[in-house]
Amino acid sequence: MNDAEEQFAARIAEDLELVVGPAIALDHVDLVVGDGAAKVTVTLRLGDQAETIQAVGPNILTLYEPIVRQAAEMRLAAAYRRLLIGGEP
């Protein structure tokens, strides 16, 4: 990865930590950029479970919105489960 890609991956990690909140831990961010394609894979930890979210696009700028949206959906789903069954997410 070049410097711009490393900065983008770090920014995604920072922003995702804010989106998922304290109950979900950010485990790993993997950014792969090739000719005309980019992919980000994020591993999140909910208690003892690991969950993976992923976005693919023509460049790194197109990855931001879908990966943040998926992280927000995961936080909402965890909160909903906690409401239904109680306890930890």
Q: Which domain holds residue 54?
A: 3-85
Of 77, 85, 64, the residue nearest 23 (C-alpha): 77
* pLDDT of res. 47: 85
Q: How many distinct structural domains can be found in the chain?
A: 1
Please check the confidence at residue 85 and state whether its pLDDT lies above 70: yes
Write out the two tokens for 17: 């930590």
What's the pTM value of the predicted model, to 2 decimals? 0.87
Return the CATH number at 24.
3.30.160.100
| Tens of pLDDT, residues 14-57 | 999 999 999 899 999 999 999 899 999 999 998 889 999 999 99
pLDDT in tens, 51-82: 999 999 999 999 999 999 999 999 999 888 88
What is the Cα–Cα distance from 35 to 72, expressed in whole angstroms? 29
